[in-house]
Structure formats: C-alpha cells, structure tokens
Amino acid sequence: MIQVYVIRSAAILERAIQFARNNWEAMSRTKHPLVIEFKPESQKRSVQANRYYWQVLNQISEQAWIEGRQYSAEVWHEAAKRRFIGCMDLPGGGTMALSSADLNVQEFAEYVTKVEAWAQTELGVCLVDLTEPYGGTA
C-alpha cells in the first residue's frame, strides 16, 4: 500500500497526519512498518514531451550540416545538453553533459525551446510536422 500526499494546504497536511496516526501502530507490528519521506514535489516530463524533443533532434540530424558533416540525433542530443544544461568534470580529465532526465517539466520545456531556437537560428533547420506538444506532465 502506498499513500502519497502532495501537501498544498493545511487540509491535505491534516489528512496525511491522520493517515499516519491511524496506521503506524498496526504497521509497526508487521514486517512492513510505515515509512514517511519528505521531499519536494518533482514532476518528470511526459512520454509525449520526450517524443517531441526527439522529433526536434531527428530534424536537426536530417537538416543540419557542420563543416560538411551531418551528425546523428544522439550526437545533437549530447551537444544540446552540453550547450544548454552544462557539463560535469570526469575523473582523470574530460567532461560529460549533465542529464536532461534530471529536469522538471518546466525546465525541460524551457530546454526544448532553447534547442528549437538554436536549431532554427544557428543551424538553419526548418522544424516542420512536429506532432507532439511538450508542455505535459508525466
């Protein structure tokens, strides 16, 4: 049994406290005592948002040329993360891009908007037939 309370009001907080009061003792007598975890709410991007992003990357890979070469969507993904999210140092030198999976819904939407603008203004890509909106939640 999992109960999740997103505490946005005193009433929700009271329901969560009441649930704990009503169930902690019985659950403590089992091999599965009640666990309470406090953390900020973090929404992950939706499958549709991810699909939209990869549509953008695929169009970049099909249309963009840099010094006479084209690159795969995966390479453009790495380049976009490095440019707009940042990098971390690796042991022994070198860097790797930070993960876009760690972005919340709003941050991911902003990131995709930056990638689209970059594609259109700097890479000369004409984004067409993008079928999935990217503003949804998981």
pLDDT at 92 > cutoff 70:
yes
pLDDT at 97 > cutoff 70:
yes
Paired residues of 129 in beta bridges: none
pLDDT at 137 > cutoff 50:
no
Say what percent of the chain tops pLDDT 70. Answer: 91
pTM summary value: 0.66
Residue 64 pLDDT class (50, 70, 90 cuts): very high
Tokens of 33: 């005592």
Question: What value does the mean pLDDT take over residues 32-38?
Answer: 87
Q: DSSP assignment, residue 100?
A: G
Domains of the chain: 1-41 (no CATH), 47-121 (1.10.3790.10)
Of the candidates 31, 32, 34, which has an alpha carbon nearest to the alpha carbon of residue 21?
34
Give the separation between CA 124 and CA 118, rounded to whole angstroms. 9
- Residue 6: HSE in the Cβ half-sphere, 13 Å Cα cutoff: 4
Residue 133 pLDDT class (50, 70, 90 cuts): low
Mean pLDDT is lowest, of 22-26, 36-40, 47-51, 85-89, for 36-40
Give the separation between CA 24 and CA 34, rounded to whole angstroms. 6
Mean pLDDT is lowest, of 38-52, 61-75, 98-112, for 38-52
Is the Cβ–Cβ distance between 76 and 138 less than 8 Å? no
Give the separation between CA 33 and CA 23, rounded to whole angstroms. 9
